[in-house]
Amino acid sequence: MNKMRDFPSINASSMADIAFLLLIFFLVTTTLDMDKGISVKLPDWNITPTTTPIHQRNILEILVNGQNELLVEGQLTALEDLQIKAIQFIDNNGKRSCSYCKGNGSSNSSDHPAKAIISLSSHPQTDYNTYIQVYDQLLMAYHTLKNDISNQQYQLEYKALRPEQKKIIEKMYPIMISENLPNDI
């Protein structure tokens, strides 16, 4: 009397539909982190390059070597000091032609903020994090100068200004950072 019992089977035909719906749900609701780069406005391609000579005093040379050491005008500099050096260079008022500059008019620094160019060179073996920190310090120098002048002229922080006011400040302190490879590579 071996009687086989029949167990009821589970209908799994809708399992594939449920799995497919779950897959679609997770694909639609999941967000992926996108890599973010440095927000830099590139020059217009239609502009013809000028061959106007640039005086060496209007160029601040910054080199980040393969050992992540920072050289400003050939002198070893700490990253924490870069922002101050950049501000002193940009806001120098070398020819005393800038009515809003606060610099001491050194003959070794820029004539005017609109002529101040920061030349940033980095060795291919420079750590990306170091490069970003250097670039961030340079942008913070410009941000500090723009904040100071906007507080002086409009009694507002730069980010709180209206677009037409921001354009005026941007003409006073244009960001001019030239990036290139060092000469000894």
pLDDT by residue (tens digit) across 96-121? Answer: 778 888 888 888 888 889 899 999 99
pTM for this prediction: 0.74
Q: Is residue 33 part of a domain?
A: no
Residue 143 lies in a domain: yes
66 falls within a domain: yes
Average pLDDT over the chain, rounded to an integer: 86
30 within some domain: no
Q: Dig out the tokens for 184 from the structure.
A: 């000894």
Please report whether residue 48 resides in a domain: no
Residue 29 in any domain: the answer is: no
pLDDT on residue 93: 81
Query: What total number of domains does the chain contain?
Result: 1
Instruction: Examine residue 92 and state whether it is found in any structural domain, yes or no.
Output: yes
Does pLDDT of 1 surpass 60? no
- Per-residue DSSP letter, 152: H
pLDDT value of position 6: 73
85: pLDDT confidence band, cut at 50, 70 and 90? very high
CB within 8 Å of 90: residues ≥ 6 apart: 110, 113, 116, 118, 141, 142, 145, 173
Beta pairing, strands 117-122 & 59-64: parallel
| Residue 50 domain flag | no
What domain range is 155 assigned to? 56-180
